[in-house]
């Protein structure tokens, strides 16, 4: 019997990066999982990798765009019809947008970041919370960012939506704690995932490795974070081991957000 046997977890943005690392971590703990992503090919590849490593893993995949409410309803219905309950939601899918100063930001990109990072996280909670209320149990982890507690130059919509995620997390926590639902957010710093690799290319197109080196030297640990570091924190917050942490935005950034 593994520690998360019988627990049913939904992960959005599960095809790569932080979502995939969490799916691997939950598989080691025996959870049943609904893996959601809008990149079908990458999602199937990720699920195949997990099944190869953990042949007993119970995994279903679902191609969905979290910014579309009907897609979100569908992944929630799939979780219920496949496994009969939902214990955890890792509301992780998100995009960074392009880098540009506030007044010059492309409006279509701005709206896309809002639709995915803010509305996608909201729709996830909107449709999962009623299921968790019936069970009188649930754990939600929303993905904010250090950009959800600090400003980040040239990333206005990202920073705005990640602050919003932190705010919605507080509201869910105070409204649904009475139903046995604990809701928290994580605020990762620079964790080496495909999204961050892409950001280094935008910062220094000729030499992204130099941007990565420079960035890691600013961190108190002189290193970037690894997706598995984040997965361990998420696994705690989304498990029954978390009995009383609710409404927090927890930085996982090597201490960098404390630097002045």
Asked if 65 is part of the footprint of ligand NAD (rule: CB under 6 A), the reply reads yes
Pairing of strands 59-63, 88-91: unpaired
Task: Compare residues 242 and 257 and give the one whose CB is closer to ligand NAD.
Answer: 257
CB of 186 to ligand NAD, least distance (A): 8
Q: How far apart are CA 56 and CA 54, in angstroms?
A: 6
User: Among 24, 33, 92, 156, which residue interacts with ligand NAD (rule: CB under 6 A)?
Assistant: 92
Q: Within a 10 A sphere around the Cβ of 185, how many other Cβ atoms? A: 29
Binding flag, residue 196, ligand NAD (CB under 6 A): yes
Which of 42/245 has CB closer to ligand NAD?
A: 42
Q: Is 125 helix (H, G, I), strand (E, B) or coil?
A: helix
Q: Is 158 tagged catalytic?
A: yes
Q: Are 10 and 75 spatial neighbours (Cβ–Cβ below 8 Å)? A: yes
Which of the ranges 10-18, 98-106, 127-135, 210-218 carries the binding residues for ligand NAD, by CB under 6 A? 10-18
Binding status of residue 235 toward ligand NAD by CB under 6 A = no
Is residue 89 close enough to count as binding ligand NAD by CB under 6 A? no
CA separation for the pair 260, 253 (Å, rounded): 14
Among 116, 129, 164, 234, binds ligand NAD (CB under 6 A): 116
Please report whether residue 60 would count as binding ligand NAD according to CB under 6 A: no
254 binds ligand NAD (CB under 6 A): no
Residue 37 touches ligand NAD, criterion: CB under 6 A: yes
CB atoms within 10 A of CB 194: 12
Q: Which stretch binds ligand NAD (CB under 6 A): 17-25, 27-35, 170-178, 235-243?
A: 17-25
DSSP result, 42-103: HHHHHHHHHHHH-TT--EEEEE--TTSHHHHHHHHHHHHHHHS---EEEE--------B-GG
Nearest-angstrom CA–CA distance, 219 and 48? 35
Q: Which of 75, 90, 158, 215 is catalytic?
A: 158
DSSP-derived letter for residue 137 is -
Query: What does the block give as tokens for 167?
Result: 């705010």
Active site residue ranges? 158
Give me the residues that bind ligand NAD (CB under 6 A), please: 12-13, 15-19, 37-39, 42, 65-67, 92-95, 116, 120, 143, 145, 188, 190-191, 193-196
């Amino acid at each position: 019997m593994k520690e998360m046997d019988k627990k049913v977890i939904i992960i959005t943005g599960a095809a790569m990066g932080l979502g995939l690392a969490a799916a691997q971590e939950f598989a080691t703990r025996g959870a049943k999982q609904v893996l959601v992503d809008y990149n079908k090919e990458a999602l199937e590849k990720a699920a195949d990798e997990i099944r190869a490593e953990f042949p007993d893993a119970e995994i279903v995949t679902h191609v969905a765009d979290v910014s579309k409410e009907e897609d979100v309803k569908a992944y929630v219905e799939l979780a219920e019809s496949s496994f009969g309950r939902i214990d955890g939601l890792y509301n992780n899918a998100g995009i960074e947008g392009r880098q540009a100063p506030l007044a010059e930001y492309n409006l279509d990109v701005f709206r896309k970041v809002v639709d995915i990072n803010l509305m996608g996280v909201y729709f996830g909670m909107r449709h999962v919370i009623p299921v968790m209320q019936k069970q009188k149990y649930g754990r939600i982890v929303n993905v904010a960012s250090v950009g959800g507690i600090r400003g980040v130059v040239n990333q206005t919509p990202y920073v705005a939506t990640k602050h919003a995620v932190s705010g919605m997390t507080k509201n869910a926590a105070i409204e649904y704690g009475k139903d046995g639902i604990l809701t928290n957010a994580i605020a990762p710093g620079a964790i080496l995932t495909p999204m961050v690799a892409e950001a280094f290319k935008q910062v220094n197109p000729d030499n992204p490795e130099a941007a990565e080196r420079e960035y890691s030297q600013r961190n108190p640990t002189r290193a970037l974070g690894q997706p598995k570091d984040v997965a361990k924190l998420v696994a705690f917050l989304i498990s029954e081991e978390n009995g009383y942490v609710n409404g927090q935005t927890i930085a996982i950034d090597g201490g960098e957000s404390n630097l002045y």
